[in-house]
Chains A and B, each alone.
Chain A
Amino acid sequence: MNHLIKSSSILMLISLIGCTDDNPSTDYPEQLIFQNIDITVSKNSINATSAYFSNDVIYFSSPNEQQFLSINNNQQFSLNIKRTKASNFSSSDYSTYISDEELSSPLQAGDELTVIFNRSTGSVLESSAQVPNFFQFLTPTSEKIIDHSTTDLSIEWDVPVTQDSKLYLRGECLEQDYSFVNSDLAGVPYDLAEGQTSLLIPMNTINKVYGFEDEGCTVNAHLYQENTGTIDPNFAGGHYNIKSDSSISFTLTNLQDTNND
């Protein structure tokens, strides 16, 4: 009888220990999982976020759960995936930055980016999207210095934008909404109409941020073009949005200082 009790206790202890590291979400079939992919590409870098949900955020504890990003089936990168049971979701847990040093060649429009998800069940799921067009800026020329107290800022590019496009100006001297820092929404936004190929920002309409002492700063204009990819049909759903980020740098001086008015 003692032997039976000891054996039962050991079995129960093993099962308890086994349960603590087990994440039930890894048992979900992919038909109940939503895959959400957001990728922003410049010609020389990729910022990819791929996260999985099913009622609650799924935190993959299984080391056998892996995901990769394949470029034209030639180059493959490992994508981050969270493996803990933390209750708070942070997109950074699922974000991966691939720099120009890691890319074998610059990205081009039409390149196929495939997110490959290898599950511990043996399922391999592939979601693909094509890199959208990049814009070529015609004006201002790179490194141009523009006195915005006397000159309108004229930005022109080669290809008409699609619906709901926006252009963002980013620079340390610009007054902007800081709730979007380090995201694609950071900066001073300008709405664009479909088909637009230029934007004129009248002089003295860009405010200098409070406390910035210099005359001007380097400003980057970012123009995004978005494509929708295809989520593997075995998933319950989700989305695959891919944006191309075209940018140009120039210098703005003599910005409007509203704090000294």
Chain B
Amino acid sequence: MINKMMMIPLLFVSSLSLAQANDTKWYGGATFGFNHTSVDEQLSVPSTKYSILGGYKLNDWLAVEAEMGKLQNDTGTYCNDYLIDNQCVNLKQTFNHIFLGVRAEKMVTLNFGFTGRIGAARSSVSANIAKDNNQISFSSSIGMLWTVTDNSKITLELQQIDYALINERHENLVSSNLSFTMAF
């Protein structure tokens, strides 16, 4: 929880994103990131995340964007008290999310700018021995972008998504994401 609170101000500080060439409308790319999970939470989502994203530019600064992502699979062993017996169960969890929203960009210099997006994310978790869970909730991100070439960008941003957990609860997490996108 503390880590999350500390990351919120950072959300306003850092990020990288990709800028599209003015004459192209479509863009697509990939993202790699880390969730900032509190260490004292025993049932949390895994750290590593991957996604692919794509969008359509409505004008110079606004685009409609979609993202499909997954987290690293999570496994864990949970056992009865060893003094009673040696019963154990193995939990395997798979986390996914789909995002749909709009992205805004504001270039400050020729090669550097700020970006952010808002929209809805459907997060879901599937488990081998517990009930699956999913939820649609508000999601946002904010960060910075650098143009690499006329048609490619790097984006570093902080992203907030409410992840579904197998205990039918949810955890609002912030992740640091590095994205590379190309216009086409």
Contact = CB atoms under 8 A, between A and B. Distances in A.
**Residue among A8, A32, A57 with the most chain B CB within 10 A?**
A32
Contact of B9 (A8, A18, A28): A8
B87 A11 contact: no
Contacts of B81: 34, 36, 53, 57, 89
Contacts of B167: 27-29, 121
Given A32-B130, A236-B87, A24 B78 contact: no
Interface in B140-176: 165-169
A32 B89 CA distance: 7
A: interface residue count bin:
20 to 34
Interface in A1-58: 8, 11-12, 15-16, 18-19, 24-25, 27-29, 31-34, 36, 53-55, 57
B129 A24 contact: no
A29 B80 contact: no
A25 B78 CA distance: 12
A16 B2 CA distance: 7
A32 B91 contact: yes
B5 interface: yes
A238 interface: yes
Interface in B34-67: 40-43
Contact of A12 (B2, B41, B85, B127): B2
B129 A236 contact: yes
A15 B91 contact: no
B80 A238 contact: yes
B78 A32 contact: yes
Given A53-B80, A57-B81, A31 B89 contact: yes
Interface in B74-102: 78-81, 84-85, 87, 89, 91
Nearest to B167: A29
B86 to A, nearest CB: 10
A12 B5 CA distance: 7
Interface in B92-137: 127, 129-131
A170 interface: no
Contacts, number: 83
Given A31-B89, A34-B79, 13 more contacts: A27-B42, A27-B165, A28-B42, A28-B78, A31-B127, A31-B129, A32-B78, A32-B89, A32-B129, A34-B84, A36-B84, A53-B79, A236-B129
B41 A24 contact: yes
B1 A239 contact: no
Given A34-B80, A236-B89, A25 B42 contact: yes
9 closest Cβ pairs, A-B complex? A34-B80, A31-B130, A237-B87, A32-B78, A53-B81, A29-B167, A29-B130, A236-B89, A24-B42
Contacts of A25: 42
B168 A239 contact: no
Contacts of A121: 167-169
Interface string A239-254: 1000000000000000
Contacts of B87: 34, 236-238
A7 to B, nearest CB: 11
Contacts of A34: 79-81, 84, 87
B167 to A, nearest CB: 4
A19 B40 CA distance: 10
B130 A53 contact: no
Contacts of A29: 130-131, 166-168
Contacts of A27: 41-43, 165, 167, 169
B75 to A, nearest CB: 12
16 contacts: A15-B2, A16-B1, A19-B40, A24-B42, A28-B42, A28-B78, A29-B130, A29-B166, A31-B89, A34-B80, A34-B84, A34-B87, A36-B80, A54-B79, A236-B129, A238-B80
